[in-house]
Amino acid sequence: MTPLVHSFIAHFGEMGSRWGINRTVGQIYALIFVSPQPLCADEIAETLSYSRSNVSMGLKELQSWRLVRMKHKAGDRREYFDAPSDAWEIFRTLAEERRRREMEPTLSMLRSALLESPTSEEDRVAQERMRGMHDLIELMSTWFDDVQRLDAPTLAKLMRMGSRVQKLLELTGQLKSGSKE
């Protein structure tokens, strides 16, 4: 393995825990991501010096995140894996999975908590704060969903505009209020 690839893989191993995956999974992903061609489990285990079973688990997890795709070669029973290389696609997938795993459970907990009628002042305050949290998470969740539908170039254009969209917003605001008057 070249030093360049090695440092990339090592970094993904180290960052893994911050990203909610473990070292192995991070490194397997990094390796697949930079490889010119799909890899099979044995090649991965060999390259990273992990046990075959560990690699098997790691691949399962990466598939559950939809970060790698299984491929088959004609006349070869082994499963090969590669990773989408389009960064926007990766971002979309990651956003969607995080929403599902990190936001949805909380959203449903909050929803049911907000159905209860508060029986004390303490509960009333608590519920009020939960409502604030719920509304924001729901808004972000819908927004994610919504933005996912945009194609990559539009999304990129939008992001590059950054806070300048505010100008645009002000403009439309004026148009609207102008048309009302």
With CB under 5 to 8 Å by kind, the binding choice for 177 among DNA, its own copies, none is none
Among 2, 49, 85, 172, binds DNA (CB under 7 A): 49
Contact 43, 35 (CB under 8 A): no
Alpha helices in the chain, H assignment, sequence order: 3-15, 23-34, 41-48, 52-64, 87-98, 104-115, 121-148, 152-161, 165-180
* Amino acid occupying residue 60: K
Among 7, 42, 86, 145, binds DNA (CB under 7 A): 42
115-to-65, 72, 108, 134 alpha-carbon distances in Å: 32, 50, 11, 12
Classify 56 as helix, strand or coil: helix
Residue closer to DNA, measured from CB, 97 or 123: 97
> Which residues are within 8 A (CB) of 16 and not within 5 positions of it... i.e. 6 or more apart?
22, 23, 24, 25, 26, 27
Residue 120 found at the interface with its own copies (CB under 8 A): yes
With CB under 5 to 8 Å by kind, the binding choice for 153 among its own copies, DNA, none is none
With CB under 5 to 8 Å by kind, the binding choice for 125 among its own copies, DNA, none is its own copies
Classify residue 23 by its DSSP letter.
H
Pick the piece of the chain touching DNA (CB under 7 A) from 19-27, 83-91, 130-138, 146-154. Answer: 19-27
Residue 141 found at the interface with DNA (CB under 7 A): no
Residue closer to its own copies, measured from CB, 70 or 139: 139
Binding residues for DNA, rule: CB under 7 A, are 17, 22-25, 40-42, 49-54, 56-57, 59-60, 75-79
